[in-house]
Amino acid sequence: MPDCLPRREDQAIRDACRTFTQVLRSDLKFEGLFQFVPESLFAAIPLLNPDNPNFEDWKSIGTKVLVVTRADLAGNDLSVEARVHFVDSGQAMLTKRYSGRADNPRSFAHQLSDDIMALTQYRGVARTRIAFASDRDSTKEKRTKELYIVDYDGFNPRRVTVNNSLNILPAWRPDGQALAYVSYRQDRSPLIFLAEIFAGRSRANISGEPSGSQAFAPAWSPDGKRVVFASTRAGNMEIFSANADGTQVRRLTNSAASDTAPCFSPTGQEIAFTSNRTGTPQVYLMDDEGLNLRRLTTVGNYNDAPAWNPSKQYSEIAFTARIEGGFEVAVIDLATRQVRQITEGRGSCEYPAWAPNGRHLVFSCNRGGIWQIGVAARDGREVNSLATGPGNNVQPDWGP
Amino acid sequence: MKKSFALLVILALAACGGTKRPPVVATSAGGASGSGSHGTTAPPPEVVSEGPDIRAVDGSGLGQEALSDESGEGGPLADIHFDYDQSSLTDEARATLERHATWIGAHAGLRISVEGHCDDRGTVEYNLALGEQRARSAYDYLVSLGVPRDRLNTVSYGKERPVDFGVSEAAWARNRRAHFAVSR
């Protein structure tokens, strides 16, 4: 992937090109599907002719796919032309021209990265966002948390809630337009709210809790029509599901223990959740009517926070496990029941959520007393922390 | 001035009742107890505000919405504490709750939000469940002592509202608590 080439000699275009190239490389590297020809090898071949690349040159340094990009600027309008070639055949797999405002060249690169990913069997994540809770606008005395969203790479943090209360457990509606979350702002009692973040609308108590009842841990069905959550309306904490407007409530669990942290399977027909009915928290599975209950986790005495891989390609559930006194993110394969540990030696890590394509995980780790968002590939490689900004950043959810 | 004197009298009654009356253990729907069930003789107000569990309410706050801060440690009803990963009441917690029940009985019109809190050595969601179990343990015991259900509610804060940010046994022990937020 050679650098983006400016159409004209102009510092502003050069700068935009540099950002574009950096972001596109980092987006495509993140996806983990491509090997990059080292840039140091580019010097061994003649300079790229963007209009008519010499594919033999590129083949000689091991290139299979060549991404040629050129940028131009007219006033405040940036345009980027991209061509993706199969080097073997010289065929252009993708030819596109992107234009828009020049202030955020990152978004041009994200768009192209996703278009390149669309040539594979996976959906790209470059334009996805992560929601999380943070105390960055709080003080130790206030102990409030607000919700924020950032681009998947940690850039562009934006605050969602502004109510000086405790706002936690954000869950993206599958259309990416709204977050369900728990807020203590009404009568200091935890209820599920809906924030339509781009429309700027908010709805309170979407699970329809009666007075005095608390609701926690909302999660969406894959079609975005139903919400599954924990509620104390029956006395102790049980799992319920309801339409997103609080109608058609269905009780799914019935035990004297606490049942919480539910999530849907990618088909929407099964639900994973946490229960301490055996005395320790463990992950259980049931169908969406609460039947066919069975225990999933059998190793360890503390397993919580199941997150079902949303891709039907991978049949697995991420969760938080207590391992040797600390907490780690792990994944259990539903067919073999094999558990693989994702995090290790990063302090205490918990609360996994999947990228929409199921190829990465996001979670939160406490290292040295500060909670930061972490990201890892689903096979446990490339564990990195995400620079999302100041404060303790927890409870991430990865949106579409 | 007159108002705060009246309050002190009530507090004195409460403290007195706590020592005389054995706890009612029968579980009922509540409503049996109330502010009228105490004696009518007023002991001297000096008895008040003694002891670690019951502190005199600042009378100036009575007209306001909240009498003790949400998820803090202060207020007229002292926190109770729990063992690690446990929601069952210790003997000490029961004794404290018995005094609380008497105080609540003597203060008609006040509502008590029973908050369950955890130390931060667990996961977010399970701690919210554990916090609810702790609040529920305290709630159930208060109800068994005759406090009407309609004066109580439970709220779990999990590990979200520690009173001590330290990393030590002492800090964790302080955070594993039920707090009683009193409001009108």
Instruction: Please tell me if residue A321 touches chain B, with a CB cutoff of 8 Å.
Output: no
Residues of chain A with pLDDT below 50 are none
Per-residue pLDDT tens for A331-365? Answer: 999 999 999 999 998 889 999 999 999 999 999 99
Nearest to B113 by CA among B167, B83, B152, B140: B152
Phi, psi for B50 (deg, rounded to 5): -90, 160
User: What percentage of residues in chain B have a pLDDT greater than 90?
Assistant: 57
What is the three-class DSSP state of A204? coil
pLDDT at position A200 is: 84
How far does A328 lie from chain B, in Å, by closest CA? Answer: 10
Q: Are strands B80-81 and B177-183 parallel, antiparallel or unpaired?
A: antiparallel
Phi, psi for B154 (deg, rounded to 5): -110, 145
CA-based nearest residue in chain B for residue A274: B126
- Which residues are CB-neighbours of A394 under 8 A, at least 6 positions away? A132, A133, A134, A145, A351, A364, A371, A373, B124
In chain A, what residues touch B124 (CB-CB under 8 Å)?
A: 168-169, 305, 350-351, 394-395
CA atoms within 13 A on the CB side of A296: 33
- Asked if residue A388 lies in contact with residue A371, where contact means CB atoms within 8 angstroms, the answer is no
Biggest CA–CA distance in chain A, Å, is 74
Q: Is the ipTM of this complex over 0.90?
A: yes
C-alpha A133/C-alpha A260 separation (Å) is 19
Contact B132/A258, CB-based, under 8 Å?
Answer: yes
User: Which of A185, A258, A301 is the best mutation test for B, with the most CBs of B within 10 A?
Assistant: A258
Instruction: Please tell me if residue B129 touches chain A, with a CB cutoff of 8 Å.
Output: yes
The most confident of the ranges A136-145, B4-13, B24-33 is: A136-145
Please indicate whether residue B2 or residue B160 has the higher confidence score (pLDDT). B160
How large is the C-alpha radius of gyration of chain A? 23
- Asked if residue A71 lies in contact with residue A13, where contact means CB atoms within 8 angstroms, the answer is yes
Contact B123/A320, CB-based, under 8 Å?
Answer: yes
Per-residue pLDDT tens for B100-140? Answer: 999 999 999 999 999 999 999 999 999 999 999 999 999 99
| Residue A392 DSSP code | -
Contact B125/A214, CB-based, under 8 Å?
Answer: no
Instruction: Please tell me if residue A143 touches chain B, with a CB cutoff of 8 Å.
Output: yes
Instruction: Please tell me if residue A216 touches chain B, with a CB cutoff of 8 Å.
Output: yes
pLDDT at position B68 is: 62
In chain B, what residues touch A188 (CB-CB under 8 Å)?
A: 70, 113, 155, 181
pLDDT at position B16 is: 37
pLDDT at position B69 is: 65
Provide DSSP, A258-296.
Answer: -EEEEEE-TTSSEEEEEE-TTSS-EEEEEETTS-S-EE-
With 0-12 / 13-18 / 19 or more C-beta atoms within 10 angstroms meaning exposed / middle / buried, residue A342 is buried
At residue B54, does pLDDT exceed 90? no
At residue B14, does pLDDT exceed 90? no
At residue B155, does pLDDT exceed 70? yes
pLDDT at position A188 is: 80
- Asked if residue A307 lies in contact with residue A316, where contact means CB atoms within 8 angstroms, the answer is no
User: Which of B124, B153, B179 is the best mutation test for A, with the most CBs of A within 10 A?
Assistant: B124
In chain A, what residues touch B136 (CB-CB under 8 Å)?
A: 235-236
**Which of B123, B136, B160 faces A327 most closely, judged by CB atoms?**
B123
Report how many Cβ contacts below 8 Å link chain A to chain B. Answer: 89
In chain A, what residues touch B143 (CB-CB under 8 Å)?
A: none
C-alpha A370/C-alpha A26 separation (Å) is 26
- Asked if residue A289 lies in contact with residue A255, where contact means CB atoms within 8 angstroms, the answer is no
Indicate the pTM of the whole model: 0.87
- Which residues are CB-neighbours of A345 under 8 A, at least 6 positions away? none
| Residue A46 DSSP code | P
Per-residue pLDDT tens for B56-78? Answer: 333 333 333 446 667 777 788 99
Nearest to B51 by CA among B88, B9, B96: B96
